[in-house]
């Protein structure tokens, strides 16, 4: 494969064999180092899935390739590498369903599109109901999804037990399981691979990815963005600067004086040592504030809801893992001898209506794709696609029209709170 004059060996089983036999030469770098140019057409701040997908789709769909992605640490070091990699599209509002369904569709073909196996495993997604009111909500979501062509249905404890034999579905537990919303197309993905796949493709298109390059200032002249300044003292000119950060999105926007209604909360997660695979579906329990899946490496990955207080800390707490372990054992008591290997936290930028802020801002040339709360990873591809279109055409495409910053001025908050609040 040769794009933009760069030889990028194509990945396939055949190429693996050739390399194995020593005939393939070097694989080549999936993403290269470059000396920063003095000017780019577009500077994207944030080398996570959103920033890299935006770069990829700008190049792929719009032919814009003179792009720099500036990442203050390493690519995927923020939310993209810290989330629990769950994908689903069983949302509640038509806007939410349409948006996330597009994302799942893009994810379904992403490996082939990027020539990089992102290991999207559509192993099913199950949201448990522990009381009659949440069972009623599951029925609601199932009915809505059915009418919108999204595969989801309510299943009873017997069916849950068949899908997850380790689940305690007896009536004697503290929060008995009454049923679940089952969404077969949902699943998990190798989140780092999504980042690398987009980075590799963007790189092959000629996009410059600058890691360990922190933006410390954004220059604005006559209400128009002119470039950015980096911690190593460079000034990079660009007529378009895109804020694709999380955790620090308000600080970046502050650099141009654009106020964001965003509060940052940590969200904690943890992983166990591997055991032989026994859990095929993603299991979510809103009542127990827990979601569980098992990776192809055999580890159980756990997540929860955001911490109850705003903070920039990415350290875990003991309180969290204690509660988590208790709730996991409530669901699957047989796991008490499994060991917790590692815990961490990511930062979630929460907006008042649990919906992102995407598109233009009052400062010309300054675009935002922020406020992604706990659902940013799920939306990575569709956000990149839509932001690329927004930048290329200077106006937001229909699919993100409702997510503009001006909605907070005009009181047109998006109604995904009910849907987002239902969990992962």
Partner 1 sequence: MSRARPGGSHRLGARPGEVIDRSRTIEFRWNGVTHTAHPGDTIASALAAAGVRVFARSYKYHRPRGLLTADIFDPGAILQVGDEPNVRAAHRLVEAGMDVRSQNTWPSLRYDVKAVNQLAGRFLATGFYYKTFIKPERLWPTYEKVLRRFVHAGEVSPDSEQPYFDKRYAHPDVLVAGGGPAGMAAAVAAARAGASVMLVEQEHQLGGHLRWGDAEDLRCRDELVAAVEAESNIEVLTDSVVAARYDDNWLAVVQRGLPHVAERLVKARAGTLVVAAGLIERPYVFAGNDLPGVMLSTAVRRLLNLYAVRPGSRAVVFTANPEGDAAAADLRAAGVDVVEVDARHGRTVVRATGRGGVEAVELSDGSRIEADLLVTAVGWTAPTSLLNMSGANPGYRPDAARFVPDPAATPAAVIAVGGIAGDGTRDELVAHADAAGREAAARALALAASRAGSADTRDPVAVPQLGLHHHPELFFALPTGGFVDMSEDVSAKDILTAVKEGYDSSELVKRYTTATMGPAQGKLETVNTVALVAHATGKTIAETGATTWRPMYTPITLGALAGRKFEPVRHSPMQPWHTSHKAAPLIAGQWIRPEHYGDPVAEVRNVRQNVGIIDVTPIGKLDLQGPDVAKLLNLLYVNKWSQLGIGRVRYGVMCAEDGVVLDDGVTGRLAENHYLMSTTSSGAGTVWEWAENWLQTEHPEWQVHVTPVTTAYASINVAGPKSRELLARLTDVDLDNAAFGYMNVRTGTIAGVADCVLWRIGFTGELSYELHVPASYGLHVWETLMATGADLGIAPFGVEAQRILRLEKGHLIVGQDTDGLTKAYSAGLDWAVKLDKPDFVGKPELAWQAARGEHPKLVGLRPLDTSVVPEEAAQIISDGGYIVGRITSSRLSPTLGRPICLGQVDAHLADPGTRLTVRLRNGSDTTVEVTAEHAHFDPEGERQRV
Residue 421 Cβ vs partner 1, minimum distance, rounded to whole Å: 6
State the minimum distance, in angstroms, from the CB of residue 313 to partner 1. 9
As given in the structure block, the two tokens for residue 200 are 């590799």
**3-class DSSP state for residue 208?**
strand
Is the torsion defined by CA of 99, 311, 44, 404 positive or negative? positive
Task: Give the Cα-Cα-Cα angle 203, 206, 208 (nearest 5 degrees).
Answer: 65
Which CB, 218 or 262, lies closer to partner 1? 262
Comparison of 143 and 156: residue with beta carbon closer to partner 1: 143
Q: 380-393 and 94-108 are packed helices; what angle lies between their axes, rounded to 10 degrees?
A: 100
**Among residues 226 and 317, whose Cβ is nearest to partner 1?**
317
Interatomic CA distance for residues 3 and 397, integer angstroms: 28
Of 127 and 366, nearer to partner 1 (C-beta) is: 127
The edge-to-edge listing of strands for the beta sheet with 282-285 is 153-155, 179-183, 125-129, 282-285, 290-294, 300-306, 263-272
CB of 282 to partner 1, least distance (A): 14
Question: Considering the complex, what minimum distance in angstroms separates the CB of residue 92 from partner 1?
Answer: 8
Beta carbon nearer to partner 1, 237 or 278: 278
Enter the DSSP assignment of 10: P
Residue position matching structure tokens 């070091």: 77
CA-based nearest residue to 299, from 343, 333, 257: 343
Beta-carbon contacts of residue 66 (< 8 Å; ≥ 6 apart) = 37, 40, 41, 42, 206
Q: What is the DSSP string of 56-71?
A: HHHHHHH----EEEE-
Q: How far is CA 408 from CA 226, 263, 414, in A?
A: 26, 14, 10
DSSP 233: S
CB 36 to partner 1: min, Å = 17
The nearest distance, CB 400 to partner 1, in angstroms, is: 19
Nearest distance from C-beta of residue 394 to partner 1, angstroms: 28
Measured from the CB atom, the residue of 207 and 225 that comes closer to partner 1 is 207
Nearer to partner 1, 122 or 237 (CB): 122
Length of the chain: 424
**Nearest residue (CB) to partner 1, 9 versus 397:** 9
Of 369, 372, 368, 378, nearest to 349 by C-alpha is 372
Return d(Cα 378, Cα 372) in angstroms, integer: 10
Shortest Cβ 332–partner 1 spacing (Å) = 8
Instruction: Name which of 14 and 362 has its Cβ closer to partner 1.
Output: 14
Least distance to partner 1, CB of residue 73, Å? 8
Helix (H, G, I), strand (E, B) or coil at 174: coil
Contacts of 393 (CB under 8 A, 6+ apart): none
C-beta atoms surrounding 209 within 10 Å: 25
């Amino acid at each position: 494969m040769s794009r933009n004059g760069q030889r990028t060996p194509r990945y396939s089983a055949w190429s693996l064999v050739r390399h194995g036999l020593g005939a393939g030469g070097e694989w080549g770098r999936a993403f290269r180092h470059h000396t920063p140019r003095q000017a780019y057409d577009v500077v994207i701040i944030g080398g996570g899935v959103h920033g890299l997908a935006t770069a990829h789709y700008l190049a792929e769909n719009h032919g814009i390739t003179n792009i720099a992605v500036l990442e203050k640490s390493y690519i995927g070091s923020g939310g993209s590498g810290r989330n629990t990699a769950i994908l689903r599209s069983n949302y509640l509002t038509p806007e939410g369903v349409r948006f996330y369904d597009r994302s799942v569709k893009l994810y379904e073909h992403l490996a082939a599109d990027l020539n990089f196996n992102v290991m999207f495993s559509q192993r099913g997604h199950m949201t448990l109901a522990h009381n009659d009111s949440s069972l009623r909500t599951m029925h609601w979501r199932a009915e809505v999804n059915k009418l919108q062509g999204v595969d989801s249905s309510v299943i009873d404890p017997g069916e849950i037990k068949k899908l997850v034999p380790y689940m305690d579905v007896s009536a004697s537990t503290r929060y008995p399981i009454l049923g679940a919303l089952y969404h077969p197309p949902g699943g998990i993905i190798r989140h780092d691979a999504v980042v690398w796949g987009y980075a590799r493709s963007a790189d092959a298109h000629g996009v410059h990815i600058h890691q360990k390059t922190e933006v410390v200032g954004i220059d604005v002249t006559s209400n128009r963005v002119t470039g950015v300044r980096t911690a190593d003292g460079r000034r990079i000119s660009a007529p378009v600067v895109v804020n694709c950060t999380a955790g620090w999105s308000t600080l970046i926007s502050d650099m141009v004086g654009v106020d964001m209604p965003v509060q940052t909360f940590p969200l904690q997660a943890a992983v166990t040592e591997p055991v032989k695979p026994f859990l095929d579906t993603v299991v979510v329990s809103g009542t127990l504030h827990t979601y569980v899946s098992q990776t192809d490496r055999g580890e159980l990955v756990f997540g929860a809801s955001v911490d109850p207080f705003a903070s920039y800390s990415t350290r875990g707490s003991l309180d969290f893992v204690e509660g988590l372990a208790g709730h996991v054992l409530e669901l699957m008591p047989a796991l008490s001898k499994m060991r917790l290997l590692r815990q961490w936290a990511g930062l979630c930028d929460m907006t008042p209506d649990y919906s992102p802020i995407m598109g233009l801002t009052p400062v010309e040339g300054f675009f935002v794709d922020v406020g992604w709360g706990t659902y940013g990873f799920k939306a990575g591809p569709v956000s990149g696609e839509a932001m690329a279109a927004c930048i290329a055409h200077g106006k937001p495409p229909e699919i993100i029209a409702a997510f503009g910053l001006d909605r907070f001025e005009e009181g047109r908050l998006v109604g995904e709170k009910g849907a987002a609040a239902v969990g992962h």
